[in-house]
Amino acid sequence: MRVLSVASECVPLVKTGGLADVAGALPGALAHAGVEMRTLLPGYPSVMAAADGAVHELGDLFGGPARIVEGRLGDTVLYALDAPHLYDRAGSIYLGPDGRDWPDNPQRFAALSMAAARLGAEGIGGWHPQLLHLHDWQAGWTPIYLRALGAADRVATLVTVHNVAFQGVADADMIGPLKLPPEGFTPDGYEYWGRISALKAALIHVDAINTVSPTYASELLTPEFGMGLDGVLRARRGDLCGILNGIDEAIWTPPYKAPRGKGKHTRALREELGLPQKDGPLAIVISRLTEQKGLDLLLAALPALIDTGGQLALLGSGDPKLEAAFRDAAAALPDVSVRIGYDEALSRRMMAGGDAILVPSRFEPCGLTQLYGLRYGTLPVVALTGGLADTVINASPAGLAAGAATGLQFYPINADTLAQALVKLTTLWGDQAVWQRMMRNAMAHPVGWDVSARAYADLMKSLDKSI
C-alpha cells in the first residue's frame, strides 16, 4: 500500500518531541508489513539540506512561491515543501525569538496540509498515495483541502493524535486567508468556541483516528483528558483506536547485554555528575520541565527518595520556576545533580547508568522515555496514565509473585503517592535478587515496532478506497 506521511517534524532532520521519533521510525517499520511510506515535511533549513532531487512546482502557496523537492531520509523518499517565506528562518520550528508561536503558524501548516492534499489528489512523479497519514494538528486541514480538490472519495485519510493538548487554534478571521469553506464554520465542523481548530477539522473529516496508546484512546473520551474535544471523539469512537508507539531498537541499544553490565556505567555517571559513590538507586529524569510532566510533584516527593538512600540526576529544561527549583535542590543536596538543557549524548549515558527512570506525568499519550528505560534495564517509575499504564508492569504483590514486574506505577497522581513509590523503589533496591529479576524482565520486554507496525498496516489497508 502507498502511504504519504505528513508531519511537522521527523528524526533525524528536525525534532522537538516524540512525534518526530514516530514519524522517523514508521516508514522502516511498515516496509516489513507491505506498506510503502513516503514522508512530506516542511522545508526548514535542516530539511532542505537533505533535499536535492527532482523539483515539482506548486505555484503560490499562502503568500509566496512553493515547490516540492525530493530527497532521501535513509531508505525513505522525502518530499520537502520548499516555501522560503514560510520555513526559511532560524530558531524553533514553532516559536519565534520571543518564545511565542510564529504569528503565521496558521499559514505555515495550512500550506503543509494543502501540499499534502495536492500530492494526494494529483500524485507526484507518477506515484499516487492511497492514504494520507496525518500527524497532529499541523496536518489537520488536509481532509478539507482534499475534499475541495475532489479526491476524498479515492484517497483515504488517517490522523494520529500524539497530544490532544495541541489543537492548532486560530481566530475566525483566518477562514478566508486559509482558503477554508465558510460553511464548515459550525459546531459540527471546524468551529471551536468561536475560533477555528485544525485538529478538530481532522477529527471530524478523516476516515479514521488513532492515538499512541490504548489507554490514552480511552482517556480522550473523557472531559478530564479530552481537552474540549472529548465530545467530538465520543461521536467517532467507532473510528478511534490506540496503537502503542515503539522505539528503534537499532538506535537505542544498551552498551551491555545483561543487568550485571550496568554497574560500571552507573559508577561512571556518578563520577561525571559529581554524585557520591554509594549503595543506593540512582534515579534519573530526562524530560521537559513542566507541570504536565509532573516535575512539580517530584520536587515535593524528592525527600522520600533522598532520605531512604536514593539519588537523583536530572536533565531537562522548560518552566523557569521549575528550573530554578531543581537548581536549588542540587545546591542544597549532595545526592542531587541537575543539568538544565538538552544533551543527546548525556541522555544516553544517563539511560545506561541510571538504575531507575522517573516519569510522573499527569497525562502521557504514550511516552518514550519509559520505553528507553525498559530497553536499558533502567526501571521505570511511572504515573498510571496513558501509555505509561500500557507499557510498565507494576511491582505489585501479584506482579512480583508472578515474576513479571518491570517497574513501578503510582495512582492517584499526586506527590504523596509518588513519594510512596520512591520509598518502595529504594526498598526493592535492598533486595538485589528481586531487583535483578525486574531488570531482566524490563530488558526482555518488547519495545520495538514489530507488533505496532502490523497494527498500523492492518488499519491502513482497511481504509484503502482503491479496492
> Shortest CA distance to 351 belongs to which of 382, 373, 380, 371?
373
pLDDT of residue 342: 86
Distance from C-alpha of 248 to C-alpha of 182, rounded to nearest angstrom: 43
| pLDDT tens-digit readout, 202-225 | 999 999 999 999 999 999 999 999
* Beta-bridge partners for 381: 358, 408
DSSP per-residue string spanning 408-436: EEESS-SHHHHHHHHHHHHHHHT-HHHHH
pLDDT of residue 148: 97
Distance from C-alpha of 390 to C-alpha of 373, rounded to nearest angstrom: 14
Look-up of cell digits 493538548: 165
Domain 259-444 architecture:
3-Layer(aba) Sandwich (3.40)
pLDDT of residue 467: 72
Strands 282-289 and 356-359, bridge-based pairing: parallel
Mean pLDDT of the region 87-103: 92
- Return residue ranges of the chain for CATH 3.40.50.2000: 2-246+450-462, 259-444
15 is in an annotated binding site: yes
Q: How many CB atoms lie within 10 A of CB 258?
A: 12
| pLDDT tens-digit readout, 8-36 | 999 999 998 889 999 999 999 999 999 99
| pLDDT tens-digit readout, 317-371 | 999 999 999 999 999 999 999 999 989 899 999 999 999 999 999 999 999 999 9
pLDDT of residue 382: 98
Is the domain defined by 2-246+450-462 classed in CATH 3.40.50.2000? yes
pLDDT band at 445 (very low <50, low <70, confident <90, very high): very high
